[in-house]
Structure 1
């Protein structure tokens, strides 16, 4: 969701009807379907995502994800042909990430790049294109890179408590490859670079004040990240489900609130 709001902040004139429809397509259909399909393939018995005790998936879940994907693509043509193509690419990529016959998630680098490219750069472009009044087809490169890196600087932390379970399932995540301590170092570096690109995106749009407002909203995330990193550095048992979810919730609230605040400011200028 933060990538959605981030993309909207970079538009001067927004087609609000399209923006609302895009929000529904992504957050009500595409993302839940992708998570559902991933759960169907993984059949997790231990904590995953926001669930401490996930139920075992059924065949009905699979059929539901297919129906949601078909509906998402059909609705996407209301926006534009290019947006529909983008949604289709996202769906195919997310399926290849989870599907047992391919399972891109088992490869640490390829899986990582797949996630940050789809959830970051591709989503940023789709929202930017579909929500613009003139349906811009140009590539806002800096924004797309910034969005990908924002995802990339956080995603490994969502894997940090699943090392044992993933390994038993034949999956080597980027977090497992790095180990507990290096996962935090890696995320800190990627997030720092992400903020450089976010800064460039905002400064090039003369949104200097907005960038500093964004930085203020991000401070609680930085504080919790450093506090958690120190605890894990001393005792790796703190790289658990509870702390991961706390980090996830805090980052989601602060990042969404930051971009929504900036978006509202832009509408009144």
Structure 2
């Protein structure tokens, strides 16, 4: 146990938690915040920390421990060997997330617990949802999108499970899943060899390199159109057009990368994948921060000198 405790503090353990990788899931939290009617600073801080500093890293670490990847993974170009300490650290981070959740409500804590269970089932060899291409695609997109959106919304507003029956909350949650369902196969495009070696037949492997690009382009187009409709129907036209404009850099980079892969399949690599993820997350985060500040009247208050 002493050696395990030491391993919990090893550099390799903290690298596999991939805390900075949580930046790529930040848009879901920001979107939930932007449409929240009950703004409370302490709840914002608790929900943010529980998700991005504990729940997501716990999922990353647990996944890394059982995958034991030798080649690049999301957020780590050269992953170090895993230790038993990583396993216990991931469980400890899950526990801390739930404890923080209880500071808001038991409902929010249960949502955190359920997310942790699903993330474990995704990679644990006893279940390993990851090896089923369509099931893993659906579950990853749903739980990192819709489920997390509703979870964050509940925590930010101290609401109960009644939010699951409110379409004006469920609908934007489904929109986050649409974006994730489109982008998810792209995150697997450089891992075909590693995944097949473990027996994980991912959706990207099934689709092939070009098929992955076509699938993402189609899904992303539908998702963008639904976002446009959502902002027109529930907010203001300016948000619909600003969303489309904010996605322009993502579309441009995606097209540039596709042309490179079309000429040279080796360009479907880790570096290009991470650049696409970074551009996408950056554009979405900037948009949702602006959307929150503008729709909540914070910008107007600042302009007025408050």
TM-score normalised over the length of structure 2: 0.84
**In the alignment, does 2:103 pair up with 1:100?**
no
**3-state SS of 2:163 partner:** coil
After superposition, where does 1:56-71 map in structure 2 within 5 Å? 56-71=81-96
Work out the CA distance in 2 between the residues paired with 1:141 and 1:212: 22
Structure 1: unaligned runs, 5 residues or longer: none
Work out the CA distance in 2 between the residues paired with 1:31 and 1:190: 25
After superposition, where does 1:128-207 map in structure 2 within 5 Å? 128-132=153-157, 137-139=162-164, 140-207=169-236
Structure 2: unaligned runs, 5 residues or longer: 1-25, 301-306
RMSD between superposed Cα atoms in Å? 1.5
Q: 1:74 deviation in Å?
A: 1.6
1:42 to 49, 67, 72: 67
Partner of 2:253: 224
Moved more, 161-170 or 44-53: 44-53
Higher Cα radius of gyration: 2
Count of matched residue pairs: 269
User: Could you list the per-position Cα deviations for residues 53-83 of structure 1 after superposition, in whole angstroms to 9, with x for gaps in the alignment?
Assistant: 1111111111111111111112112222221
**3-state SS of 1:101 partner:** coil
Partners of 1:160 and 1:176 within 8 A in 2: yes
Q: 1:17 deviation in Å?
A: 1.6
Partners of 2:213 and 2:258 within 8 A in 1: yes
2:239 to 204, 207, 210: 210
User: Could you list the per-position Cα deviations for residues 126-163 of structure 1 after superposition, in whole angstroms to 9, with x for gaps in the alignment?
Assistant: 11122126567323221121011111111111100000
Partners of 1:128 and 1:136 within 8 A in 2: no
